[in-house]
Amino acid sequence: MLSAEMLASAIRLAVPVIITAVGAIYSERSGVINIGLEGMMIAGCFTGAAVAFYAGPYAGILAAVAAGAFFALIHAVASVHFRVDQIVSGVAINILAYGVVRFSSLSIFKMATTTPHVDCLPKVTIPGLAAVPWLEPLVSKVSPLIFLAFLLIPFTAWVMNRTVFGLRLRSVGEHPLAAETLGVNVYLMKYCGVLISGALAGLSGAYLSIEHTQMYVEGMTQGLGFIALAAMIFGNWMPLGAMWAGLLFGFAQALSLRVVTEAVPYQFIKMVPYILTIVVLAGFVRRSRAPAAVGVPYERGEAA
């Protein structure tokens, strides 16, 4: 069961969750819940595929990042600036993105639910390691975005713990008033956090449509944005934790794709990764620790 092919498949399925979850860390650590990740991924999926169709995969990926960030900007303006409830704003983003994408798809390609086939980025093969038979499926002909996703983990940990930006971002999510009295620009930090999360959700969408399926299909995100949010929480708001949670989900999904049995209807097997997510969240989340001020809108000059 635990073959290298299986592991490679788990990683391919985990990558969109990991990228989005790492993005969610930036948003949540700045104190903003981003439940609109799903919508931002959808925007990234479609925009990526559509632009890649006309201008190639590189442009497609950049456009997907921009599309995710654009929807994140709406979320930031609403929830940071106008202090709209973050859940309400995020849900609205999800609905909005779905509608905008369907409309755009229809008007550009005359098809509501798919785009034509697109080219993906050139696959990467690591020369030395690919010769090792057992490692071969893991290191040959792999999407470069998979490497990028795993580079994001240590990079994000470094940003959070070692940089001025990371310290200020976290301070804003923990105690914005304290940060403000020390001259930290609370709104700027929150905007940065939300925009980065949107950009990465867009990237994750591009991975799905350009790299994974090589076309956009409506509903292809399958709730991965929500799963990513759960993975981020399960991972205790830490990049490494989010990675493990993402891999767990990817593994469960890879497994569910390989289980073929007459005894259990196929639909039930497809549910396994999602049920696993719920069980894991219910069982472990109590031990995790959220940023103290997450979800609380901050008003400048309040209290003090």
**Cα–Cα distance for residue pair 5/8, rounded to 1 Å:** 5
Q: Is the sign of the CA dihedral 290, 248, 15, 253 positive or negative?
A: negative
Q: Is 274 within 8 Å of 17 (Cβ atoms)?
A: no
Contacts of 260 (CB under 8 A, 6+ apart): none
Q: Taking CB under 8 A as the rule, does residue 29 contact another protein?
A: no
- Out of 178, 264, 278, 279, the only residue in the binding site for another protein (CB under 8 A) is 178
Nearer to another protein, 12 or 29 (CB): 29
**Cα–Cα distance for residue pair 12/25, rounded to 1 Å:** 21
Nearer to another protein, 264 or 292 (CB): 292
- Out of 175, 213, 244, 276, the only residue in the binding site for another protein (CB under 8 A) is 175
Q: Taking CB under 8 A as the rule, does residue 183 contact another protein?
A: yes
- Out of 81, 141, 162, 258, the only residue in the binding site for another protein (CB under 8 A) is 162
Nearer to another protein, 273 or 291 (CB): 291
Q: Taking CB under 8 A as the rule, does residue 181 contact another protein?
A: yes
Nearest CA to 10 among 265, 277, 258? 258
Structure tokens at 230: 């759960």
- Out of 179, 189, 232, 245, the only residue in the binding site for another protein (CB under 8 A) is 179
Residue numbers of the site for another protein (CB under 8 A)? 162-165, 167-168, 170-171, 174-175, 177-179, 181-184, 289, 291-292, 301, 304
